Amino acid sequence: MNNWRRWVQAPQTTLFHRILFQVHLWLGIAIGLYILVISVSGSAVVLRPQFSRWLVHSEVPSEAGNPLAGAALEVRVLEVYEGYDVTNIVPPTRPRRAVYVALEKDGTELSHYFDQYAGVDLGSTFPWQVRTVEWLTRLHDDLLLDRVLGRKLNAIGGLLFLVMVFSGILIWWQGRRRWTDGLKIKSSSSHSFLYQLHSFLGFWSFFLLFVWGLTAIYFAFPQPFDFIIDAMDSDLEDFERPDDWLIFLINLHFGRFRGSWLGYVWVFLGLIPAIMYISGFILWYRRVLKNYL
């Protein structure tokens, strides 16, 4: 039986499969924590606009009554924020917009929104929950480093992640007679639930995993992608570029589906790499590490 027929019928018996398995395994061990951090932070970043809408109350609940203005507004602001130094008051410039108030206390600068109709505080313009999401955004985009360096490191991580993805999809192939086993989770399978889950998620999320790894490289090194786009553009004198496919991939990366419930689905989908890392680590622990502890 030649190597190709052996791969088609019983890939586990080939040297290529064993090499792929070791590459996949040790890459997972080496960059697993990185994948976990990027996966969890990426899911949080998807909800970044929603967190701002939910937690930053920049509009007044009601415009009933006469709004405070001028000296009356300043007096009420000083009463509400007693103990603070009010350094600036910015009246609203459009309907339903709240008053912006800049504050200082013990050398710490704060800013709040103030309801000029009810004369009450509406909360911080930058609450801790939003600050946390912004911190996660910087962690996801730049690893809390300089923008250029952080994105280059993410590109390296994306490249290694792609090697894991492609080695994983090749390992997923169990032979012509058993290839459908990796498409679903079965109670009658000879493999454990975690093994099936790892294989199942890896197959059905292959395209998304590929997109996430590829776009991570693009964000640091856009030049090769621009070269491909320019090569696809036969009319270099127009102002349109055939880059719709790239924009589509970027939107997929961030889950940019404005006004759609798909954005919430992306929160779960973004956790797939984390789930796969955890399941893979447990499988490795049970198979290898447990025997040495």
Percent of the chain with pLDDT over 70: 95
Q: What is the mean pLDDT of residues 120-136?
A: 95
Are 16 and 153 in contact by the 8 Å Cβ rule? The answer is no
Q: What is the pLDDT of residue 289?
A: 65
Are 56 and 127 in contact by the 8 Å Cβ rule? The answer is yes
pLDDT band at 290 (very low <50, low <70, confident <90, very high): low
Task: Specify the higher pLDDT residue, 260 or 85.
Answer: 85
For the chain, give the mean pLDDT: 90
Domain borders along the chain are: 3-52+132-292, 57-125
Give, to the nearest 10 degrees, the angle between helix 15-46 and helix 147-172: 130
Q: What is the pLDDT of residue 8?
A: 86
pLDDT band at 202 (very low <50, low <70, confident <90, very high): very high
**55-82 pLDDT, tens digit each:** 999 999 999 989 999 999 999 999 999 9
Tell me how crowded residue 66 is: count the other CB atoms within 10 A of its CB: 9
Q: What is the mean pLDDT of residues 97-121?
A: 95
Task: Specify the higher pLDDT residue, 137 or 186.
Answer: 137
* Element containing residue 90 per DSSP (H, E): strand 85-90
Q: What is the pLDDT of residue 293?
A: 52
**108-115 sheet: strands from edge to edge:** 85-90, 99-105, 108-115, 120-124
CA contacts within 13 A on the Cβ side of 115 = 16
Q: What is the pLDDT of residue 232?
A: 84
> Which distant-in-sequence residues (6+ apart) come within 8 Å of 126 by Cβ?
56, 111
